[in-house]
């Protein structure tokens, strides 16, 4: 019974964290000040292929998942699948809902505020669901795989910066094909390229790891 309670709490943390990430991705796209690097890459590719963003992201995640399975399959779990399926479509839903309600982010101060909220949500959401230890999204796991394969010579926060930089490069090249490169790459993209890894690590150490350890009564 106690084990089931711990499992449910961690499962809830996964769901809440991943929906936070999905909402953040949608807000980034709406603010039009640059998407997060992984989203920017997938948006650029989806525009070239004329494919729905959520569907394209699902395919890209599946490809990365194969590599994770080959090198560090312990990172695969409920959180992996839930993230793969719901982040992209949650972002699509947020964008649809905002358009349906007629909400616009017309001024620079409002767009900056939306960008700040989205940046906070994506880092806190990632930290929460990763701390639940029920599997990671393929892209999030990639940073930890690099850390493991280099025997921690390259820490997660540095590996994430490198991977984000690669994603931005791909986003720029694909975005140029349809003329959207400066819509998907901007100050928000650059901000997250250098801050996401360190901030996720910060929130894990100082918030989500201790929180889940306290709630479940288990040490992280």
132 CB neighbour count, 10 Å cutoff: 26
Cα separation of 24 and 29, whole Å? 9
Cα separation of 76 and 98, whole Å? 33
Give the model's pLDDT for residue 148: 87
Digit-coded pLDDT (tens) for 72-98 = 888 899 988 888 888 888 998 999 999
16-43: average pLDDT: 90
In the predicted structure, residue 220 carries a pLDDT above the cut 80: no
Task: State the pTM of this model.
Answer: 0.83
- Structural domains counted in the chain: 1
Digit-coded pLDDT (tens) for 136-163 = 888 989 998 899 889 889 998 899 999 9
Digit-coded pLDDT (tens) for 45-59 = 999 999 988 788 889
204-219: average pLDDT: 86
| H-assigned helices in the chain | 2-31, 37-49, 53-71, 78-100, 108-131, 138-149, 156-178, 181-184, 187-203, 209-216
Cα separation of 166 and 23, whole Å? 24
Q: Which residue has the tokens 């997060």?
A: 36
CB 28 within 8 A of CB 42: no
Domain ranges, residue 69: 2-216
Give the model's pLDDT for residue 89: 87
153-177: average pLDDT: 94
Q: Which residue has the tokens 């479940």?
A: 216
209-217: average pLDDT: 87
In the predicted structure, residue 4 carries a pLDDT above the cut 80: no
CB 64 within 8 A of CB 139: yes
């Amino acid at each position: 019974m106690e084990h089931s309670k711990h499992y449910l709490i961690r499962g809830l943390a996964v769901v809440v964290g991943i929906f936070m990430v999905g909402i953040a991705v949608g807000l980034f796209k709406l603010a039009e000040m640059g998407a997060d690097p992984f989203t920017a890459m997938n948006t650029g590719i989806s525009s070239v292929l004329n494919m729905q963003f959520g569907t394209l992201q699902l395919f890209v995640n599946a490809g990365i998942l194969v590599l994770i399975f080959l090198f560090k399959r312990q990172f695969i779990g409920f959180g992996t699948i839930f993230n793969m399926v719901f982040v992209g479509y949650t972002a699509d839903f947020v964008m649809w809902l905002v358009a349906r309600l007629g909400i616009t982010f017309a001024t620079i101060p409002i767009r900056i505020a939306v960008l700040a909220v989205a940046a906070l949500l994506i880092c806190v959401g990632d930290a929460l669901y990763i701390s639940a230890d029920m599997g990671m999204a393929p892209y999030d796991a990639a940073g930890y795989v690099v850390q493991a394969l280099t025997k921690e010579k390259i820490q997660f926060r540095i590996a994430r910066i490198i991977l984000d930089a690669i994603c931005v490069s791909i986003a720029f090249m694909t975005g140029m094909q349809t003329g959207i490169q400066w819509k998907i790459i901007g100050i928000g993209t650059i901000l997250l390229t250098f801050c996401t890894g360190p901030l996720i690590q910060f929130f894990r150490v100082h918030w989500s790891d201790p929180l889940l350890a306290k709630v479940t009564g288990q040490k992280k």
